C-alpha cells in the first residue's frame, strides 16, 4: 500500500488569506498546505479519503485518473467541497462508490441536493452512496470505521489493514483506541500547539501516539502556527509532520474478505 498526502492543512489552508506570519510567508514548500485529503494506492486501486475543497488541484498534482472508492470522514466544507470536481472522473469512468456514515449522508444529501435529486440538463457528480456501519472489505483491504467526537459532530476515522487515518477529532475514546492498536502507520489530527475545542493539539496527539504505539505516525490538519522546519526536529522518534505531496509506502498484507462489501 502507498499513501499520498494530497493536503495537510487546516480548514482555511496555509498560507491563510491575509496573513503575514512566518509560516504563511515561508519559502518552505512543506509550509504550503492544501486542505486535508489522502490518496491510497493498493494493487492498482485508488481510494480517496475526503474530496477536499482543493480536490481539483490535488488530483492534477497526483496524476489521478480513476477512483475505485471515496471514503468520507464527515461533511465539513473543507473535507467535501471537492465533490463537484469528481465529475471529471465520472466522465472517464462513470459513477463511483462513496462510503460515509448515516449522519454524514444526511448532511451530504442536503449540501449536494442537486447531485442526488432527479437528473437535470447540467452535469453533476455521480456517487453511489454506501452507508458504512461496520467493518467491510474494500479493494482487498479490511476497512474498520472508527467513530470520533468532533464538536457537535461524529467523524469517522478509517483503519485499512495496518494503516489508519484519524483526523478531525478532539479525543480518541477507549473504543477507538482499541481499534488502533498494532498499527504500522497512523496519521493523526494535530491542528496547533494550543488546545482546540474540536481538534487534537500537539500534546494530546503525542500522548495518543505514545499510548497506541504505531511503528510510525504522521501529524496532519495543521494550522499556520506550525512551521515545519521549527517543529519537525523536536518530535519524538517515529513521529513526523506530514506535508503535501508526501508519499509513504505502508507494508500491508492482503486480508481475506471478512464480511460484506458494504
Ligand atoms: Zn477538517
Ligand atoms: Zn499565518
Ligand atoms: Zn471537521
pLDDT, tens digit, for every residue of 52-108?
999 999 999 999 999 999 999 999 999 999 999 999 999 999 999 999 999 999 999
Q: Rounded CA gap, 49 and 122, in Å?
A: 26
Tell me which ligand sits closest to the C-alpha of residue 20.
2
DSSP state for residue 253 in the 8-state scheme: -
Unique residue bearing C-alpha cell 461496520:
134
Arch. (CATH architecture) of 2-249: 4-Layer Sandwich (3.60)
User: Cα(66) to centroid of ligand 3, in Å?
Assistant: 26
Which of the four pLDDT bands, split at 50, 70 and 90, describes residue 140? very high
Smallest CA-to-CA distance from 248 within 168, 185, 183 is with 185
User: Cα(190) to centroid of ligand 1, in Å?
Assistant: 11
Cell numbers given for 167: 483526523
Write down the H helix ranges in 19-73: 55-62
Q: What are the backbone dihedrals phi and psi of residue 209, each rounded to the nearest 5 degrees, phi first?
A: -65, -40
Beta-strand pair 247-249/2-7? antiparallel
Tell me which ligand sits closest to the C-alpha of residue 170.
3
DSSP state for residue 198 in the 8-state scheme: S
Q: Flag whether pLDDT at 7 surpasses 50.
A: yes
Q: What is the pLDDT of residues 185-225, one digit of tens each?
A: 999 999 999 999 999 999 999 999 999 999 999 999 999 99
Cell numbers given for 225: 502556527
Q: What mean pLDDT value characterizes the chain?
A: 95
Res 258: pLDDT: 46
Unique residue bearing C-alpha cell 480513476:
66
Q: Rounded CA gap, 110 and 213, in Å?
A: 39
Tell me which ligand sits closest to the C-alpha of residue 36.
1
Q: Is-contact 9 36, C-beta < 8 A? A: yes
Q: Flag whether pLDDT at 260 surpasses 70.
A: no
Write down the H helix ranges in 112-227: 113-116, 174-179, 202-212
Amino acid at each position: 500500500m502507498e499513501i499520498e498526502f494530497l493536503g495537510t492543512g487546516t480548514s482555511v489552508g496555509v498560507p491563510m488569506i491575509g496573513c503575514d506570519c512566518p509560516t504563511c510567508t515561508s519559502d518552505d514548500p512543506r509550509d504550503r498546505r492544501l486542505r486535508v485529503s489522502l490518496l491510497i494506492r493498493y494493487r492498482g486501486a485508488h481510494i480517496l479519503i475526503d474530496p477536499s475543497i482543493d480536490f481539483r488541484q490535488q488530483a492534477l498534482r497526483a496524476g489521478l485518473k480513476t477512483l475505485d472508492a471515496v471514503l468520507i470522514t464527515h461533511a465539513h466544507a473543507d473535507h467535501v467541497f471537492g465533490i463537484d470536481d469528481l465529475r471529471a472522473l465520472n466522465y472517464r469512468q462513470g459513477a463511483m462508490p462513496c462510503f460515509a456514515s448515516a449522519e454524514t449522508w444526511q448532511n451530504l444529501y442536503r449540501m449536494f441536493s442537486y447531485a442526488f435529486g432527479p437528473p437535470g440538463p447540467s452535469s453533476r457528480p455521480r456517487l453511489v452512496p454506501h452507508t458504512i456501519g461496520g467493518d467491510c472489505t474494500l479493494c482487498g483491504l479490511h476497512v474498520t470505521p472508527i467513530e470520533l467526537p468532533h464538536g457537535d459532530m461524529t467523524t469517522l476515522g478509517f483503519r485499512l489493514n495496518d494503516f489508519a487515518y484519524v483526523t478531525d477529532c478532539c479525543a480518541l475514546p477507549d473504543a477507538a483506541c482499541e481499534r488502533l492498536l498494532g498499527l504500522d502507520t497512523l496519521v493523526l489530527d494535530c491542528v496547533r500547539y494550543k488546545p482546540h475545542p474540536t481538534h487534537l493539539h500537539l500534546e494530546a496527539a503525542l500522548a495518543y501516539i505514545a499510548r497506541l504505539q504505531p511503528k510510525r505516525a504522521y501529524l496532519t490538519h495543521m494550522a499556520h502556527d506550525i512551521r515545519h522546519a521549527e517543529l519537525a526536529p523536536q518530535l519524538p522518534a517515529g513521529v513526523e509532520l506530514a506535508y503535501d505531496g508526501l508519499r509513504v509506502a505502508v507494508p500491508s498484507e492482503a486480508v481475506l474478505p471478512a464480511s460484506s462489501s458494504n
